Amino acid sequence: MQFPALLVIALVIVTPLGAQTTARLTLGGTMGTALASDELGGPVSLGAGVPVTAALSLAHPIGTGYRALVEVRAGRGSLHADNNGESSSIPGLTTVGVMVLVDGPVTSRVRWELGAGLLNYRPAERSGVFGQGGPTPWILGGGLSWTRPLSGTLDLVANGRYDFHQFRSRQLDSRGYTQYQAVHRVGLGIGIERSF
């Protein structure tokens, strides 16, 4: 997590190179639906809460008004289990996603984005559904970003993102679960975007 932060600080501080490549750093939160649920013996669900999420992306023009983006998005939070009305929290779940996206203009300040990638679950300890490690499912996502100029090369940016993936772990497989759990996530972030 320290390397992406150092990289973006370096990108923001260096002198612009004259190209139209941009670097963006945002901080926000992501909430999602349950990672696993079961109705046998009463309702049971396991979710990731609302982890703090940081994202670093690099974008480069690929046509008039369109850009290709590579994004790394990391979140850290807790697992929340709900078993027959009794709740418990387990700290230390990190998610790291890498996506390739395309974006384009909606208005002069608003852009759409659409892409795909991989999302890796990294639990602090191997237990429960992560007893045999964290899965790395494919992820599809899209959203909107809004920018407001702060200076010639620096913009304020706010974005909203929806993404979807199917969750299943090796531990669930070993217990006889055969279906994936559809996970829908929504995230909001605010940050800065620098042009080079």
Note the pLDDT tens digit of each residue in 109-135.
999 999 999 999 888 877 777 778 888
86 falls in which pLDDT band (50, 70, 90)?
low
| pLDDT (average), residues 44-71 | 88
CATH number of 2-195: 2.40.160.20
CB 125 within 8 Å of CB 92: yes
Is residue 195 classed as helix, strand or coil in its secondary structure?
Answer: strand
45 falls in which pLDDT band (50, 70, 90)?
low
Number of alpha helices (DSSP H) and beta strands (DSSP E) in the chain:
2, 10
Q: What is the pLDDT of residue 34?
A: 79
CB 145 within 8 Å of CB 115: no
* Measured distance CA(151)–CA(33) in Å, rounded: 39
Closest to 149 (Cα-Cα) out of 105, 193, 103, 104: 193
* Measured distance CA(97)–CA(75) in Å, rounded: 9
Instruction: Report if pTM > 0.85.
Output: no
Phi, psi of 108 (to 5 degrees): -65, -25
The domain segmentation of the chain, as residue ranges, is 2-195
CB 61 within 8 Å of CB 22: no
